[in-house]
Copies of this chain bind each other. A is one copy, B any other.
Amino acid sequence: MARQVTGAARRVADAAEVLRDEKFNARRIELAEAALETLGELGFARTSLREIAQNSAFTHGVFHYYFSDKLDLICCCVRHYKAKCVTRYDDVVATATSRDALTEGFLAKLAATLQSEARMHRLWYDLRSQAMFEAAFRKDVLEIDKSLEAMIWRIASRYAELGNKRPASSPAALYALFDGLFQSALLKHLAGDKTAIAELLDEVRRLLPTVC
């Protein structure tokens, strides 16, 4: 009987701990999301914990309660960012039933994300560059890069499939191409070039049929 009681108590305690953990983790993500705001605004180099705290509903001490240090926080930000952006084009891929539909859906999303989420995207490029200096970022960054490559590959494969073809190049080359174009367009867009987005769309529209 003693055993059963301890067993039951154990189970209750475990459940409580799981609950606490979930709450803890939810808070971490809340904080990471707040941090992403400021990071997207100022970039990695100019963002301090106090600045993050001031642009949020939290005080700077909380961040040290939930994260072991600044790198820990930013790693969490990066991981959280990943979940959001990797599925961006999945709808389009799933619903498009013709090459043209896929093209237009893809381009529309591309333009929209470049327009409205420029800050998050520049942060991604910033952090990817940081990973070249800071080893702590590398694992997560490389993983996200792989996911993005896969995302592009899904689009290209579907596009090829709709034309009864096969992609003409490797996943790595395709991702490099689109990522490079996007990065360049983003910089121009942020520099005030009003034609940057349109030029990106033109380029991609021209390119798609030649690579898939």
Binds B, one of A6-14, A158-166, A183-191: A183-191
Q: Is A128 an interface residue (CB 8 A)?
A: yes
Q: Would you call B172 and A132 a contact (CB within 8 A)?
A: no
* Shortest distance from the beta carbon of A94 to any chain B beta carbon, whole Å: 26
Q: Would you call B142 and A132 a contact (CB within 8 A)?
A: no
Q: How many residues of A are counted as interface, with CB atoms below 8 angstroms from the partner's CB atoms? A: 44
Q: Would you call B184 and A172 a contact (CB within 8 A)?
A: yes
Cα A176 to Cα B177 in complex, Å, equals: 5
User: Per-residue 0/1 for A131-174: is the Cβ within 8 Å of any B Cβ (1 yes, 0 no)?
Assistant: 11111001001100100000000000000000000001110110
Chain A residues close to B by CB (< 8 Å): 42-46, 122, 125-126, 128-135, 138, 141-142, 145, 168-170, 172-173, 175-181, 183-184, 186-188, 190-191, 199, 203, 206-207, 210
